[in-house]
Amino acid sequence: MTTPRNALVPGGAADQGPASTTPSGDSRRLIYGHPSLLAERPTHYCPGCGHGIIHRLIAELLDELHLGPTTIGVASVGCSVFAYDYLGIDFVESPHGRAPAVATGVRRTRPDAFVFTYQGDGDLAAIGTAEIIHAAARGERISVVFVNNGIYGMTGGQMAPTTLLGQHTTSSPEGRDSSLAGYPIPITEMLALLPGVSYAARGSIADPSQIGKTKVMLRRAFEDQLGGGRTSIVEILSTCPVGWGMTPQESMDHVANEVVGVYPLGVLVDRRAAAAKGA
Amino acid sequence: MTAVAERPRLMKGNEAMADAAIEAGCDAYFGYPITPQAELLERMARRMPELGRVFVQAESEVGAINMALGAAATGAKVLVSTSSPGMSLMAEAMSYMAGSELPIVLINVMRGGPGLGSIGPSQSDYFQATKGHGHGDYRVPVLAPSSISEAVALVADSFELAARYRTPVILLADGIQGQAMEPVMPTFRMPDWDTASWELTGADGREPRVVKSLHLRPEDLEVHNAHLQAKFATITEREVRWAGEQLEDAEVVVVAYGTAARVARTAIERARADGLHVGLFRPITLWPFPSKALAELAPRLRAIVVVELSAGQMVEDVRLAVERVPVFFHGRTGGMVPTPSEVVDRLRVAWALTAPTP
């Protein structure tokens, strides 16, 4: 990967904002910069895809929590398998759907590492259902970043278990019909029932305010692991403009107006916060 | 480091292999209950936590082998065990680990197939073990013990090969070897294990590392495959193992491994008592197969008799290895074991049919 640029260096992104109050720069306050762990190169993701935003959130949080040197990420199969090309941390690549099992092996043999998986909805909610359910049932001390765009993007836009009813995909050309293909699976709600899941939440990247809220959820999930919590999961409603046949703006609007009606946003369970409150 | 016990112990095969792995320094074990290897998992369930090491009973063989993949990526010395139907479920991750060059040791205590088959002993996973479990151009070393003492030794050897070549290694046993008890001289051994140059620890003070099997550009994947093939060629050159018994004057030779070799040994004693000059050629590495050694032996032979607990799998490699020597076969399937008498009968047939014309 390319050498990360220090955002505090003059001429970096931080210099371009209005935060500078004196010409000397001594009292400037950094409010925005390039995360040191995020590679400075264009991603291969399509215009309007959410992965770039979510990669950035993870890079920011790993920087802010000083986790870069101790993190081992587990990449899964799908467009985001290349997360390791953009995040400057150790990574192991998992077979399709098996990331929570792979993360279990990493976690058990590296008890001091920060361990997270990055999985799409085909990966986590279809082929990898057994692995995520049982990692959560065991309460593996891992964080799961679950990016749900309701479609198989990498293979050309086929129906996923998360696809909305009526949604047209290349394998549901007349729209998803519940009599043939069942119903969208609310897997994060299912996981939130398990006592091994200490934090579960659903955010989106549909607009800057939602992105900010999603970052808070991810931070809470990561801190949960660092604080001795068990499994933490943040589902992030994301986009696939190419697979959906929409422009980037239309796809963001679709998340905000349609998808959140099926997959409501919010914190589903936060057992450590609940325990602290009860104490 | 070698620790030799004072005297033999009576041990069950599954438990002896578990102990051998523990003494070899196994850091982590992942498994799923399946007959006839369950005692191996049970032994690890008790002993690994006592030693402060990792034991996880997974939700499936798929889960177990992928936990092994993750643990191996951190440089841990990992053991997985299963039996035939479970091996089929592990095929996917075996391909990924071969591609990612991750060392693990996998013990397959074979049972009768196909499908759910039986829980009796079998050697019908020879093709699967030696020709490929998952997709892609790859092989992994396959070691086949014919006694529990040998299984103990081969567990340590398997870890050594795994680390030396950054590859999964299969120890191919069968239901008899898993279930039987016999006196074992536990020559436990702690092999070398150095993964420091590639293991994942978190990128503290160094460039990030990625353990992966994806090489999306065909040009890159071909280079990676060339690297793997070169490694397989080195293994084939250096790691072939076999054992011969009574080959000096043998005119007919039994080729058999594992439990079949033990049956053959008894048959050979009986046939020799009847004046037949017969011997045993026992492959210990099934891949790489001892083709060269067999080819060198073959010109001296009238016939070869292959004995397997299968419908005939290794016999194909024997036929590929030798020229002009008639190759006979005797096998039993489904969990049935050939008797020494059956093998003696087959030896007599081979002996008679290939008798030099006066």
**pLDDT at position A153 over 50:** yes
Residues A239 and A115 in one domain: yes
Taking the Cβ of residue B96 and every Cβ of chain A, the question of whether any pair is shorter than 8 Å is answered with yes
Taking the Cβ of residue B211 and every Cβ of chain A, the question of whether any pair is shorter than 8 Å is answered with yes
**DSSP code of residue A244:** H
The single residue listed with the structure tokens 């529990």 is B148
**Who among B27, B74, B212 is closest to A106 (CB)?**
B74
- pLDDT tens-digit series, residues B189-221: 999 999 999 999 999 999 999 999 999 999 999
Taking the Cβ of residue A134 and every Cβ of chain B, the question of whether any pair is shorter than 8 Å is answered with yes
pLDDT number for residue B187:
82
Residues B277 and B234 in one domain: no
pLDDT number for residue B171:
98
- pLDDT tens-digit series, residues B82-91: 999 999 999 9
CA distance B194 to chain A (A): 16
- Going by C-alpha positions, the residue among B55, B36, B33 that lies closest to residue B46 is B55
Taking the Cβ of residue B202 and every Cβ of chain A, the question of whether any pair is shorter than 8 Å is answered with yes
CB-CB neighbors (< 8 A) of B62 in chain A: 98, 101, 130-131
Mean pLDDT, residues B21-34: 98
- pLDDT tens-digit series, residues A159-209: 999 999 999 999 999 999 999 999 999 999 999 999 999 999 999 999 999
CB contact under 8 A, B214 and A93: yes
Band the pLDDT of A10: cuts 50, 70, 90.
very low
Find the CATH number of the domain harbouring B184: 3.40.50.970
pLDDT number for residue A32:
86
**DSSP code of residue B267:** H
Residues A114 and A246 in one domain: yes
Residues A92 and A12 in one domain: no
The single residue listed with the structure tokens 């990493």 is A106
CB contact under 8 A, A101 and B66: yes
Domain total of chain B:
2
CA-based nearest residue in chain B for residue A88:
B208
Band the pLDDT of A23: cuts 50, 70, 90.
low
CB-CB neighbors (< 8 A) of A104 in chain B: 56, 63, 67, 70
CB contact under 8 A, B211 and A92: yes
CB contact under 8 A, A105 and B92: no
Mean pLDDT, residues A8-31: 54
CA distance B133 to chain A (A): 15
Cα distances from A259 to residues A54, A93, A163, A165, A202, in angstroms, run: 18, 29, 9, 11, 12
CB contact under 8 A, B63 and A131: yes
CA-based nearest residue in chain A for residue B91:
A95
Query: How far, in Å, CA of B72 to CA of B94, rounded?
Result: 12
CB-CB neighbors (< 8 A) of B204 in chain A: 69-70
* B6: CB partners within 8 A, 6+ apart: none
Domain total of chain A:
2
pLDDT number for residue A6:
41
Residues A168 and A111 in one domain: yes
Taking the Cβ of residue B214 and every Cβ of chain A, the question of whether any pair is shorter than 8 Å is answered with yes
**Strand, coil or helix: A191:** helix
Taking the Cβ of residue B205 and every Cβ of chain A, the question of whether any pair is shorter than 8 Å is answered with yes
**Strand, coil or helix: B197:** coil
Residues B229 and B273 in one domain: no
Give the Cβ contact number of residue A74 at 10 Å: 31
- Radius of gyration of the CA atoms of chain A, in A: 19
In a domain, B124, yes or no: yes
Band the pLDDT of A99: cuts 50, 70, 90.
very high
CA distance B58 to chain A (A): 8
Residues B95 and B228 in one domain: yes
In a domain, B171, yes or no: yes
Residues B282 and B219 in one domain: no
**Strand, coil or helix: A9:** coil
- pLDDT tens-digit series, residues B310-329: 999 999 999 999 999 999 99
The interface residues of chain A toward chain B in range 135-164, judged by CB-CB distance below 8 A, are 137-138
Taking the Cβ of residue B275 and every Cβ of chain A, the question of whether any pair is shorter than 8 Å is answered with no
In a domain, A39, yes or no: no
Q: What are phi and psi of A11, to 5 degrees?
A: 95, -10
Residues A169 and A227 in one domain: yes
Query: How far, in Å, CA of B71 to CA of B77, rounded?
Result: 8
Cα distances from B57 to residues A61, A101, B40, B173, B240, in angstroms, run: 33, 11, 12, 21, 34
Residues A15 and A147 in one domain: no
The interface residues of chain B toward chain A in range 147-186, judged by CB-CB distance below 8 A, are none
Residue type, B87: M
CB contact under 8 A, B200 and A106: yes
Write b or e for each residue in B90-102: b if 16 or more Cβ atoms lie within 10 A of its Cβ, otherwise e. Answer: bbbbbbbbbbbbb
pLDDT number for residue B357:
83
In a domain, A186, yes or no: yes
- pLDDT tens-digit series, residues A44-95: 999 999 999 999 999 999 999 999 999 999 999 999 999 999 999 999 999 9
Cβ A205 vs Cβ A236: under 8 Å? yes
CB-CB neighbors (< 8 A) of B53 in chain A: none
In a domain, A80, yes or no: yes
Residues A1 and A63 in one domain: no
Residues B77 and B169 in one domain: yes
CA distance B289 to chain A (A): 30
Helix axes B13-23, B148-165, angle to 10 degrees: 40
CB contact under 8 A, B66 and A131: yes
CA distance A99 to chain B (A): 8
Dihedral sign computed on CA atoms, order B302, B307, B310, B315? negative
Residues B170 and B284 in one domain: no
Residues B227 and B271 in one domain: no
Residues B318 and B170 in one domain: no
**pLDDT at position A98 over 90:** yes
Cβ A124 vs Cβ A93: under 8 Å? no
Cβ B96 vs Cβ B73: under 8 Å? no
CA distance A150 to chain B (A): 24
**Who among A71, A102, A134 is closest to B69 (CB)?**
A102
Enumerate the β-bridge partners of residue B54. Answer: B28
Cβ A79 vs Cβ B47: under 8 Å? no
Residues B230 and B279 in one domain: no
Residues B131 and B232 in one domain: yes
CB contact under 8 A, B76 and A109: yes
CB-CB neighbors (< 8 A) of A106 in chain B: 70-71, 73-74, 200
Mutate to test the interface with A, among B53, B101, B133, B200 (most CBs of A within 10 A): B200
Taking the Cβ of residue B73 and every Cβ of chain A, the question of whether any pair is shorter than 8 Å is answered with yes
In a domain, B109, yes or no: yes
Residues B233 and B264 in one domain: no
CB-CB neighbors (< 8 A) of A114 in chain B: 202
**Residue-number span of the structural domain to which A111 is assigned:** 45-278
Residues A30 and A52 in one domain: no
Residues A136 and A50 in one domain: yes
In a domain, A40, yes or no: no
Query: How far, in Å, CA of B5 to CA of A179, rounded?
Result: 66
Residues A76 and A173 in one domain: yes
Find the CATH number of the domain harbouring A258: 3.40.50.970
**Residue-number span of the structural domain to which B96 is assigned:** 2-201+213-238
Residues B126 and B147 in one domain: yes
CA dihedral B54, B59, B63, B65 (to 10 degrees): 60
DSSP string, B3-69: EE-SS-EEEEHHHHHHHHHHHTT--EEEE---TTSHHHHHHHHHHHHHTT-EEEE-SSHHHHHHHHH
Q: Complex ipTM, two decimals? A: 0.95
Find the CATH number of the domain harbouring B256: 3.40.50.920
Query: How far, in Å, CA of B323 to CA of A16, rounded?
Result: 78
- Going by C-alpha positions, the residue among A228, A226, A212, A198 that lies closest to residue A265 is A212
Give the Cβ contact number of residue A223 at 10 Å: 16
- Report the helix count and the strand count for chain B, using DSSP H and E: 12, 17
Query: How far, in Å, CA of A71 to CA of A142, rounded?
Result: 11
In a domain, B312, yes or no: yes
In a domain, A73, yes or no: yes
